[in-house]
Copies of this chain bind each other. A is one copy, B any other.
Amino acid sequence: MTIAEVSKKFDLSQDTLRYYERIGLIPSVNRNKGGIRDYTEEDCKWIVFIKCMRSAGLPIEVLIEYVGLFQQGDATIEARKELLIGQRKQLIARMEDMQKTLELLNYKIESYEQTVVKKEKELKRSED
C-alpha cells in the first residue's frame, strides 16, 4: 500500500504518517525500488494500534518506548507488559475524572433546563 492509500484508509495525513515513522512511533516502513513507502499488513496493524492508543490520549513518548521495546524482541515482554499496565492505570484515572465532569455537566444542564422552564411559566403567567 502507498502512503496515499494508508492516509485515506486510516484518516491520518501523509505528513503525520511520515512523522510517526520518523520519530519511531511505528517501525520503519519498507521502500520499493524507487525509495517509495510500501506499507505491509503488519505496518497497518501498528497504525491501527497507535491510532487507538493516541485517541485515548496515551503520550507519543510512551508509545515510542513501547515500539522500541517491541523491536528488541522477547526479552522485553515483561517490560512491555508493565508499561501497558502503567498506562492502563493512568487511563482509568482520566476516565474517572471525566466521569465526574460528565456528572457535573449533567447536573448543570438539568439546572438550566429548569431555569428555562421557570422562565416560560413566568412568561405564560404574564400573558394572562
Contact = CB atoms under 8 A, between A and B. Distances in A.
What's the number of copies of this chain in the assembled complex?
Answer: 2
A120 to B, nearest CB: 11
A112 B80 contact: yes
Nearest to A94: B98
A94 to B, nearest CB: 7
Given A116-B78, A116-B81, A102 B95 contact: yes
A104 B52 contact: yes
Given A115-B77, A116-B77, A116-B78, A109 B85 contact: yes
Contacts of A57: 57, 98
A62 interface: no
Interface residues of A, number: 36
Contacts of A101: 52-53, 55-56, 58, 91
A108 B91 contact: no
Given A81-B109, A98-B98, 19 more contacts: A52-B100, A53-B101, A55-B100, A55-B101, A56-B100, A56-B102, A58-B101, A74-B119, A77-B116, A78-B116, A80-B112, A84-B105, A87-B105, A88-B102, A91-B102, A91-B105, A95-B98, A95-B99, A95-B102
